[in-house]
Structure 1
Amino acid sequence: MREPTPTEAIDLVGRFEAGQEIPERMRADVRMLGSLLGRVLRESGSPGLYEDVEALRVATIQAYTDETAEAFARAEAIADSFTVQRADEVARAFTCYFHLANLAEEHQRVRILRERDGRPEREDAADSVAAAFVRLAAEVGDDTALRRLQALRFHPVFTAHPTEARRRAISASIRRLAALLDEHERSAHGGADERRAERRMIEEIDTLWRTAPLRPEKPSPTDEVRAIMAVFDETLFTTVPHVYRRVDDALQGPAAGGRAPVVRPFVRVGSWVGGDRDGNPFVTASVTRKAAAIASEHVLLGLERAASRIGRGLTLDAATTPPSDALRGLWQRLKDADEDAASEVAKRSPDEPHRRVVLLLARKIAATRTRNADLAYRAPDELLADLRTVQDSLVEAGAPRQAYGHLQQLIWQVETYGFHLAELEVRQHSAVHAKVLAEIESGAPLSEQAHEVLEVFRVVAHIQKRYGPRAAGRYIVSFTQSADDLAAVHRLARHAVGEDAVAPVLDVIPLFETFADLQAAPRILAEIVEHPEFAARLAATGRRLEVMLGYSDSSKDVGPVAANLALYEAQQRIAAWAEGEGIELTLFHGRGGALGRGGGPANSAVLAQPPHSVDGRFKLTEQGEVIFARYGDPAIAMRHIDQVAAAVLMASAPSNEARNSAAAERFADVAATMDVASRARFFALVKAPGFAPWFATVTPMEEIGLLALGSRPARRGLSVESLEDLRAIPWVFAWTQARINLAGWFGLGTALESVGDEARLRSAYDEWPLFRTLIDNVAMSLAKADARIARRYLELGDRDDLAALVVEEMELTRSWVVRVTGATELLANKPVLQRAVKLRSPYVDALSLLQLRALRALRDAPAEASAPDPEQQRLLLLSVSGVAAGLQNTG
């Protein structure tokens, strides 16, 4: 196949982009940003770089659209023809392009959300909390619906693994570009402001290009804590109260803001960052203490600034807005405690009693942050009481707008975040607890690990005393396999603090991860609630219990299909047990960003849960790049929280529970057939002799461990002889990088083939939410895979039998998914998602081809080589980062 002429190349690229039906304004953004990147490559890249990038871009687009062996071979030949140094530059150029394309897509999402909000009839109202309340009220009545709304809980828990493949410096550059793109859109076409914005964008893109894309070393756990704080500071602290306000506005109409809100804070934020020590030796008790201190510093600074801002604005004269007796009493107490500041404030606000009080409250918040014992609040409840005194005084004085305006938002922030910001959770492996208890009971001198485990409990006690009981106290036990694994936590806590000291208040949470553990969960729970300390905690909390389910390891254990079905059944059985015991159950979903780890749209997953397994409470882990995708922009964060919370409210509607229950019963035989068939197919692959080292050969699994993604080690052992020692994240990440995505779909084709009845499977897709969610997620996973490139990776190994098994199952699954959805191609029923995948695919292909050449060079290196070729290794790692940006996930 001949190389296209420059004119033909331009026409080819134009036809490809036009065929993706991109919204015109997004197309203009992509074109402008791509053009600016091209200018930077010409100015700052080495001679000929721009031309080489364009040659590979055109070739991969042609290979993607033609689907001929000749076109693919030509793209491969171009990628292989570069020197290693040039390949390095080309990989960086494509990665920069993905960052810009992702930015344009995010900007389009924000644009749509803003336009919806600006219309009299909001288009997104159908899946908002306000709309869910109306639908729920129609089923259960207004009073019951209001009680459920006021008991609603959405509890995302941020984790550090995997952190984003991109560096924080890259993320910061992209955020600056986002602001410039916004400025560019608001400026007059052809005007000075537009030209200035473009000039500054070129400068920022040049900075992005010149910034080293790979971290020089792994971040420390404390670095990870500070990275998460950026999300709170820039988005969540102000966005969450705006979500409450939006719901209250919708429910109360014109009266909103002039009377007490009907909405109660329904978001609780948790964090494992600095608390999750399962398999991470770098997370110590000292790190956990620092994590709590850093989070408290951030939230108290935010509360202080908000109170100061509100105080400065409360210029209400005593003649028009007289203070209540309670407010006068509060002022006197504040004045007695801080005479100099009170005198200064009184001079500036002589007849503005509400202003004076709130400004002194800001001083008390500052004293809490700086640990000034004479002025500091002891607990957030004290601050809330003072703020409500101000609020009540304003209401009594006839100023409800001021009472329920900005002041209400500050109250919501304190109720949501306290003085701790995020509820820090500790996680540790059950085997570690057993080992330490054995040491203690043997009477021998304790090991360093044992001292560290015991110190964690003392740190939790300190955090609770310093920042309040909500600041820490949830203790998750990984690989819970018996009631003894949970009772061990209380025994260790008692050893840690001694018999005479007060032990920390602990909510011990079992984490059921493997297939066998999921099946054993109800039995284990029935045993542990009889344990004295567990029973006492249940009584103290009104019989509330939290249970965590692991999506990652269960999927790696039995395959994605059987794992999904096992998780549904486990939830069903646990929920039935809890209901029978009068326990208020919260299921904690350990979902990852990738589909092989329970990823996918959270709101559809919530609505597919078994009856009584949600009941207005939904808790899940938010991991890695998902955190910044869902919570990095205020408008997108508001939309995400509103959507998921709406699904949580509707999940327990009688109609939704009846639908899920009836469908699960109606298609029980389908589930049983799929379970057996998918597991057998999955085991045929992963239990084949030599599978683990073969997997490490045909994917960049080993090399991923060299990426400075996060502080946590990629595997538990030193070798890859056993999948049990491999963590779920690199398992998923490696298959994703190889463009196979096996962890998200393998076994489904065989499962559907075993059922065989296409009409019945289509009925299941239409009527059974769990099945529909499974099929849609697999469709997305397969759409991001590429069979031609996958074959090239599989050829790196010497096991044709395993390679054939993977390819055969991929083709079978793709065929059945298309048939079950009644479409002609993958994602045909999700055009926006399909467009995004198709638009990126040829550019991801370019990076995959560069990764393949580096991987081949590393695999073909002489056995006697003392170390891998550093240039080839760098190229590989650059391509890994770029592919992650293009596919928009790591693991």
Structure 2
Amino acid sequence: MKSSGSARSTRRNAVSPSPAPASAAARARSQTPPREPKGAARANGHANAAAKPNGRTREDKDRPLFEDIRYLGRLLGDVVREQEGDAVFEVVETIRQTAVKFRREDDNAAAQTLEKMLRKLTPEQTVSVVRAFSYFSHLANIAEDRHHNRRRRIHALAGSAPQAGTVAYALAKLKEAGGASSKAIRQFFDDALIVPVLTAHPTEVQRKSILDAQHDIARLLAERDQPLTARERAHNEALLRARVTTLWQTRMLRDARLTVADEIENALSYYRATFLDELPALYADIEEALAEHGLPARVPAFFQMGSWIGGDRDGNPNVTAATLDEAINRQAAVIFEHYLEQVHKLGAELSVSNLLVGASDALKALAAASPDQSPHRVDEPYRRALIGVYTRVAASARVRLGEGVVPVRSAGRGAAPVRATPYADAEAFAADLRVLMDSLAEHHGESLAAPRLAPLVRAAEAFGFHLASIDLRQSSDIHEAVIAELFARAGIEPDYAALAERDKLRVLLAALADPRPLRSPYLNYSDLAKSELGVLERARAIRAQFGPRAVRNYIISHTETVSDLVEVLLLQKETGLFDGTLGTPGSHARNDLMVIPLFETIADLRNAPDIMREFFALPGVGDLLAHQDDEQEVMLGYSDSNKDGGFLTSNWELYRAELALVELFRERGIRLRLFHGRGGTVGRGGGPTYQAILSQPPGTVNGQIRLTEQGEVIASKFANPEIGRRNLETVVAATLEATLLPHTNAPKQLAAFEAVMQTLSDAAMAAYRALVYETPGFTDYFFSSTPITEIAELNIGSRPASRKLQDPKNRKIEDLRAIPWGFSWGQCRLLLTGWYGFGSAVAAYLDGATDATERARRVAQLKKMNKTWPFFAHLLSNMDMVLAKTDLAVASRYAQLVADKKLRKHVFERIVAEWHRTSDALAEITGHGERLAANPLLARSIKNRFPYLDPLNHLQVELIKRHRAGDTNARLRRGIHLTINGIAAGLRNTG
């Protein structure tokens, strides 16, 4: 990050912040793009890039990206010099140059120099250096996001074929493959349900203030791609410099742990920035693509939003009925504000006079019902109708949220006071808006509806009055404790928890068949029972207030038995969310909240089909399913299964569970909807969403899917509106392809692939568990060699990092939450959760060959699996990315934190050996010796980050050493936490 100040002239030959591949210095220099042209030349250069999308080298295409990175780095350098002085700037710049030299020239002497320099830093210098390198990573991320948008626009301007991940591409692919008729595509959209679910899992490292500043920088950077006058360009740079200064002067870390209220507000910021505008725009894009293929354009509101924030109580005692109430009220306030703003703007825009053009009878009736009495709008039926709509929306907000919660404008001069009949629901609001749309369409005004009215109708259909459906989630052991208390207090069963599974089901079904409640208003209950029942009672009130879509799912963590599901049915009965009596002929029992099992561990995934089979066979459950339109959702957990069995086995057991569930549901005539609990890292099910959906087993997508969006992934996907819409469309396109495209592998070949995969999985799990759970001292190694304890101190989320780690003497990997487990391995650059065990598995499989011919056949089979089986190819692609992010040299520094030298040597050498086995196996299967050879842009991006990550990692190790040695300096602790933030930004993932 160079300053453009006086010292720059002495550093003209310094390596620029736009990095090149790690190779010989001469080659690196030859591939480094030239400096940014001054003035309008830069804009013209970008414009020229847009004009010539084809026949250009990758370096030419990426030149604007490198220019942006260099430009932002120079601004940051200027700010560091201005804010901290020349001495700090010189330290930062020297460290940067040394780190780049080490990376690009593989200079070991530079590495030693770097370590010495970092050890000599004062606490004050350390904080400045960490902040500088952290912010450079953030700015590089902004530049990369901008370049993705730029490249997409270039393709659009050039009239290129649709890109993968778009609905247009999916439709073209379906047409080419002959995989779907117009009727099938229409049916897909009629039946589809796609729901991204935002969660508040503790992986979001950035503060909202930082995100807001970055959003402004991204917007200003995008402006520089447009032709600007010299004055406009200078003004733009001044604003950019001001926002970078804002970043520098803003505290990067939170002083206090996030509350649930903070998490609610953070999530809502993405609705304001992206979802409220981009989701309706996505619908318009989809309908345009359908129209281009001669298909019916209008599609139902199949794409909706979900949330766990305010309703996810698993392991988080801070989530209560009060936070659920706050979540829905804040969500409703945001959507009502949006509706009121858009209706107000429509009133200004639709100045259509019935003296000049006609209007439908329905619109005239709507206008006549308006309280507007202004003589100036007598001939403007649309404006009059919209004033009536506005007053009803305002009344709808007031009756649900109270007076003054949502700002309301005056209805206009001459209008009656803002009092009107509230809408019963959002559909009634949308129906009035459709009256306007239909009237415009009938009277040559269809173009007037497209900019604002049509998107507003879509918003009303997708968001309702609740914005996002809030899922409730709690652990099965909590449910059991509450049920046990209810039975004991009612004198029915003194020790429910001690019963065998069969006996638990007996007493549960008997209670559900009895119309009488277990609870008595004359008895006292524990705080736990009152809290859990209070959440369900509040959910019932919310459904009455905001509609059934506001809260409609109840997720049961740690589902291990059928009784885990039935317990939640009984809790619903006790809180007015269950009608009828279960199993009674003619009762037609129904539950308001779908009970959704979450299968998380390897054992739970293997038991999932049997649990669901037994659940479906219970008396009366058929009635419940009929009320749900014979649909049932099942959630699959990626994080715990990975921590339990390792990367390969987790993915394979998820695949097997999905196939078995599909078969079971098909037999029972029930539609399966899978809810994928994916995290940010590959070890937690992360990675490209498009490929992840396409790699699902045959028959498992079927037009419906829910998936979690967690932590920093929300920021990376949805902070930028344009990228946000692209990510939303990717989910639709992948779901469309996965549902309707024919699968290419014949059953016999697929069976052979699956047999090999089972062999690999068994060996991989054995290798993983041998390291993590069977190696004496591994727990001590993990807690010493990673910043797990320091991560627990970081104020990331409202949820504790671990369930049972307060006493160091009783620490166990089993008790550690999967998210900080993955976060910690990422910080020390091993990312073990995304690859460990694969190398041993492939080696065992190949070593099982009886001779060289058989070995060659097995290698050929693995290559064929990679080439033709999307599941296996996606697995290897994700692992390739993870291996590219690992760094054994950096990881070795963290291993030095382990005091027991024998333990350190034993464990680290095993990890290193497995890394090499895995890397070699991947190279043999893919034919690529270099990591990410098939994705050079991502490879370059990752390599570009290493010189700026390395100092942060080295500093983190030094600071942790001092901290654990007893240094209580507040700046030291702050420095550790800043390095955690910076490394997470550099890797673009945390948990």
Counterparts of 1:671-686 in structure 2, within 5 Å, are 671-686=757-772
SS in structure 1 of the partner of residue 960 of structure 2 = helix
- Which aligned pairs between 1:555-704 and structure 2 lie closer than 5 A? 555-655=642-742, 657-659=743-745, 664-687=750-773, 688-704=775-791
Measured in 1, the distance between the counterparts of 2:794 and 2:888 equals 26
Q: What is the CA-CA distance between 1:652 and the residue it aligns to?
A: 2.0
- The answer to whether residue 273 in structure 2 is matched with residue 234 in structure 1 is yes
Task: Confirm or deny that 1:378 pairs with 2:424.
Answer: yes
- 2 CA distance for matches of 1:249 and 1:619? 25
Distance of aligned partners of 1:663 and 1:176 in 2 relative to their CA distance in 1, 3 Å threshold: farther
- Counterparts of 1:229 and 1:77 in 2: how far apart (Å)? 45
Give the Cα–Cα distance (whole angstroms) in 1 for the partners of residues 817 and 227 of structure 2.
Answer: 49
**Aligned equivalent of 1:737, options 827, 830, 839:** 827
Q: How many residues align?
A: 868
Aligned residue type for 1:228: A
Partner AA of 1:793 in structure 2: Y
Alpha-carbon separation, structure 1, partners of 2:394 and 2:154 = 39
What's the offset of the Cα at 1:187? Answer: 4.8
* Match of residue 798 from structure 2: 711
Is contact 2:339–2:393 with CA below 8 Å preserved after alignment?
yes
How far does residue 407 in structure 1 lie from its aligned partner after superposition?
A: 2.5
- Paired residue type of 1:343: Q
Within a 5 Å distance, the mapping from 1:434-453 to structure 2 comes to 434-443=480-489, 445-453=524-532
2:569–2:591: 8 Å Cα contact kept in structure 1?
no
CA–CA separation in structure 1 for the residues paired with 2:730 and 2:488: 53
Given that residues 490 and 533 in structure 1 are in contact (C-alpha distance below 8 angstroms), is that contact kept between their aligned partners in structure 2?
Answer: no
Q: Does 1:874 align with 2:910?
A: no
Shift, 1:654, TM fit:
4.6
What is residue 624 of structure 2 aligned with on the other side?
Answer: 537
Q: Within 2, Cα distance between the matches of 1:278 and 1:869?
A: 35
Candidates 159, 165, 171, aligned match of 2:205: 165
Which of 837, 842, 849 is residue 954 of structure 2 equivalent to?
Answer: 849
Mapped to 2, the partners of 1:92 and 1:508 lie a distance apart of 46
The 2-side partners of 1:394 and 1:253 are apart by: 23
State whether residues 464 and 504 of structure 1, in contact with CA within 8 Å, keep that contact through their aligned partners in structure 2.
no
Range moving further from structure 2, 442-451 or 278-287: 442-451
SS at match of 1:680: helix
SS in 2 for 1:317: coil
For the residue of structure 2 that corresponds to 1:472, the secondary structure is coil
Give deviations 1:548-588, integer Å, cap 9, x for gaps.
00000000000010000000000010011111111111100
Q: How far apart are the structure 1 equivalents of 2:637 and 2:820?
A: 16
State the AA in 1 paired with 2:528. Answer: Q
What are the residue-to-residue correspondences of 1:316-327 with 2, within 5 Å?
A: 316-327=352-363
Pair 1:885 & 2:923 matched: no
After TM superposition, the structure 1 stretch with the greater mean CA deviation from structure 2, 814-823 or 582-591, is 814-823
C-alpha offsets along residues 208-235 of structure 1, whole Å, 9 cap, x if unaligned?
Answer: 1121111101111111111111111111
Aligned match of 1:724 = 814
Q: 1:567 to 1:396 in 2, by over 3 A?
A: same
Q: Does 1:184 align with 2:224?
A: yes
Q: Aligned letter for 1:147?
A: Q
Aligned runs of 1:493-572 on 2, under 5 Å?
Answer: 493-497=572-576, 505-531=592-618, 534-572=621-659
Letter in structure 2 aligned against 1:738: C
Other-structure match for 2:171 = 133
The answer to whether the 8 Å contact 2:600/2:640 transfers is yes
For residues 409 and 171 of structure 1, what CA distance do their matches in structure 2 show?
A: 26
Q: Which moved more, 1:238-247 or 1:354-363?
A: 354-363
Change (3 A) 1:632 1:855: same
Q: CA 1:428/1:348 → structure 2, altered by over 3 Å: closer, same or farther?
A: farther
2:392 to 364, 376, 386: 364
Question: How much does 1:662 deviate?
Answer: 5.9
Q: Which amino acid aligns with 1:369?
A: A
* Secondary structure at 2:803 match in 1: coil
State the match for 2:55 in structure 1: none
Cα distance change on mapping 1:17 and 1:187 into 2, 3 Å: farther
Q: Give the SS at the match of 2:225.
A: helix
Secondary structure at the aligned position of 2:474 is classed as strand
- The 5 A counterparts of 1:89-238 are 89-119=128-158, 121-137=159-175, 138-188=178-228, 191-238=230-277
Change (3 A) 1:148 1:399: same
- Equivalent position to 2:285, from 246, 260, 267: 246
**Unpaired stretches in structure 2, ≥5 consecutive residues:** 1-9, 33-58, 404-418, 490-522, 581-588, 847-857
Query: Which stretch of the first structure deviates more once superposed, 304-313 or 104-113?
Result: 304-313
Supply the AA of the counterpart residue of 2:433: L
User: How big is the shift at 1:703?
Assistant: 0.6
The one-letter amino acid of 2:982's match is G
SS in 1 for 2:793: coil
Maintained 8 Å contact 1:420/1:471: yes
Superposition pairs for residues 35-114 of structure 1, below 5 Å? 35-114=74-153
Determine helix, strand or coil for the equivalent of 2:552: strand
Tell me how far 1:281 sits from its aligned partner.
Answer: 0.8
SS at match of 2:351: coil
Q: Distance in 1 between matches of 2:461 and 2:654?
A: 33
Q: Secondary structure of the residue that 1:470 maps to in structure 2?
A: coil
Q: Deviations over 1:670-699 (max 9, x none)?
A: 202211110111111111223222211110
Distance in 2 between the 1:780 and 1:835 partners? Answer: 12
Contact 2:170 2:734 in 1 (8 A): yes
| Residue in 2 that maps onto 1:837 | 942
Q: Distance in 2 between matches of 1:231 and 1:357?
A: 31
Q: Tell me, in whole angstroms, the C-alpha distance in 1 between the residues paired with 2:610 and 2:196.
A: 28
Give secondary structure in 2 for the equivalent of 1:659.
coil
User: Is residue 562–residue 675 contact of structure 1 (8 Å, CA) maintained in 2?
Assistant: yes
Matched, 1:429 2:475: yes
Decide whether the 8 Å contact of 1:64 with 1:842 is kept in 2: yes
- What SS does structure 1 have at the residue aligned with 2:830? coil
1:404 is displaced (CA, Å) by 6.0
- Kindly indicate whether the alpha-carbon contact (under 8 Å) linking 2:130 and 2:982 is maintained by their aligned counterparts in 1: yes
The 1:253–1:681 alpha-carbon spacing in structure 2 relative to 1, beyond 3 Å, is closer
Change in 2 beyond 3 A, CA 1:681/1:288: same
Give the match for residue 794 of structure 1. Answer: 895
| Residues in 1 aligned to 2:185 and 2:120: alpha-carbon distance in whole angstroms | 65
Q: TM-score, normalised by structure 2?
A: 0.84
Aligned mate of 1:485, from 539, 542, 564: 564
Say whether the 8 Å CA contact 2:579–2:591 is kept in structure 1: no
Equivalent residue of 1:234, what SS?
helix
Residue 464 of structure 1: aligned partner? 543
In 1, the alpha carbon distance for the partners of 2:929 and 2:594 equals 50
Q: Does structure 1 conserve the Cα–Cα contact (< 8 Å) formed by 2:290 and 2:297? A: no
Shift in CA distance, 488/111, structure 1 to aligned 2, threshold 3 Å: same
2:539 and 2:591 mapped to 1: Cα distance? 6
Q: Percent identity?
A: 35
- Note closer, same or farther for the CA distance 1:202–1:388 as it changes in structure 2 (3 Å cut): closer
Supply the distance in 2 between the matched residues of 1:770 and 1:823 (Cα, whole angstroms).
19
Q: What per-residue deviation string (whole Å, max 9, x for no partner) do you get for residues 785-834 of structure 1?
A: 10101111122222121111111111211222222221121001101110
TM-score (norm 1): 0.93
CA distance in structure 2 between the partners assigned to 1:675 and 1:804 by the alignment? 23
Asked whether the 8 Å contact 1:660–1:769 carries over to 2, the reply is no
Greater shift in the superposed pair: 373-382 or 201-210: 373-382
Task: Go from structure 1 to structure 2 and tell me whether the alpha carbon gap of 1:112 and 1:247 turns closer, same or farther (over 3 Å shift).
Answer: same
* Aligned-residue offset at 1:847: 0.4
Letter of the structure 2 residue corresponding to residue 664 of structure 1: L
Partner SS state of residue 673, structure 2: strand
Aligned letter for 1:183? E
Corresponding residue for residue 373 of structure 2: 343
Q: Secondary structure at the match of 1:850?
A: helix
Shift of 1:314: 2.2
Secondary structure of 1:529 counterpart: helix
Which one of 296, 309, 331 corresponds to residue 345 of structure 2? 309
Structure 1 residue 57: deviation in Å? 1.1
Which 10-residue stretch deviates more, 289-298 or 636-645?
Answer: 636-645
Residue 77 of structure 1 and its aligned partner are, at CA, apart by 1.6
Q: Distance in 1 between matches of 2:953 and 2:30?
A: 24
Q: Amino acid of the residue matched to residue 722 of structure 1?
A: K
The alignment partner of 2:796 has SS state of coil
